[in-house]
Amino acid sequence: MAVKKAWEGFSKGFMEEVQRWGSMKQTGVSLRYMMEFGSRPTPRNLLISSQFLHKELPIRIARRAIELDSLPYGLSHKPAVLKVRDWYLDSFRDLRSFPDIKDNNNELEFTQMIKLIKVRHNNVVPMMALGVQQLKKDLNPKIDYHYLDEIHQFLDRFYMSRIGIRMLIGQHVALHDPSPLPNCVGYIHTKMSPVEVARNASEDARYICLKEYGCAPDVNIYGDPNFTFPYVPTHLHLMVFELVKNSLRAVQERFVDSDKVAPPVRIIVADGVEDVTIKACYFTILSLIENQVSDEGGGIPRSGLPRLFTYLYSTAKNPLNEQSETDVQTVTTMAGYGYGLPISRLYARYFGGDLQIISMEGYGTDAYLHLSRLGDSQEPLP
């Protein structure tokens, strides 16, 4: 059965509305603003939050729906990408069909609706990855994917926008929790321990490695477990999980036939003297926490480094080659999708941080994850 085209089944008036909303200006927020506003989840503040989302979400979703319709190299016409477009168009229609929010009953109904929208978009990342794989099958296998800049730039914008949309929805929904965990403001933990999050993420990565290979290198974590700062634990968990998973795979595959014991992966969480000093200056624009993940997995050839943050490259066999659209969301493997590192970098940049990879071929790789401590930077709005 053929997948319907982007605008099929929608009226001309609806298409014009998508275009009109997609041309409107987006409004970014900061981690600090989310934290301060969410610290008082009164009915009035929840009403204000829902009214903001009622206008903001259609703008962001419309922009992505429009862009999904004009991608280069025929990517827009791949079945998986068409499916994602339908999700965005359906969500835009749901948001625009919802009446103005005037009281708390409206607010509660709106909150339930956007919760369902968030669920609808749960599998956007693997589905888009499948679309990219469908494109790769049609391209010349000798093409240098590093030079397909239009696709790379689109996917950066698309995934960054998705991070923001899910953060806004998730934060609003979480503020309705009648019994929030201590020090939690929605998705934000005001006293998050990066060492504790790194430990949990590492355990999850080792579990996947054990499942895949039957064994897994140790992960040694260095840092003060009592050091805390405001951040979104789920974001940090995702980033550390991805980095540790990559390191475990590299080390395990390098030492699989060796008589030597596989060396451990090392995670260093550093809160430097400068950071402590800057921490005291509450209004300082930028303060960085550095999380270093190091391995002895043989390193990455210098020629491969520029491609690490593209969406058309992976050093591992791609599991999507053997998967259909119906079961793509259920696959959990050590590697191969080709989007783990670039999306992890987007998560870091979403709140003003960054991710850098430094490799020594023949020895190993260091990944530096920089996180903005105070969260003063605005969302990057693609």
What's the pLDDT tens digit per position in 147-192? 577 888 999 999 999 999 999 999 999 999 999 999 999 999 999 9
Give the pLDDT confidence score for residue 295 in this predicted structure.
42
For residue 269, the SS3 value is: strand
Task: Kindly tell me if the per-residue pLDDT of 116 is higher than 80.
Answer: yes
Give the pLDDT confidence score for residue 145 in this predicted structure.
57
Cα 268 from chain centre:
22
Phi, psi of 291 (to 5 degrees): -115, 120
Beta strands in the chain (DSSP E): 184-185, 188-192, 219-222, 229-231, 265-270, 288-295, 354-360, 364-372
Between 138 and 39, residue with greater pLDDT: 39
- Pair of tokens at residue 6: 């982007």
Give the pLDDT confidence score for residue 314 in this predicted structure.
52
Between 123 and 263, residue with greater pLDDT: 123
- Given pLDDT bands bounded at 50, 70 and 90, which one contains residue 284? very low
For residue 112, the SS3 value is: helix
CA distances from 95 to 58, 89, 112 (A): 6, 10, 12
Give the pLDDT confidence score for residue 316 in this predicted structure.
47
Query: Using CA atoms, how far apart are residues 353 and 348, in angstroms rounded to an integer?
Result: 5
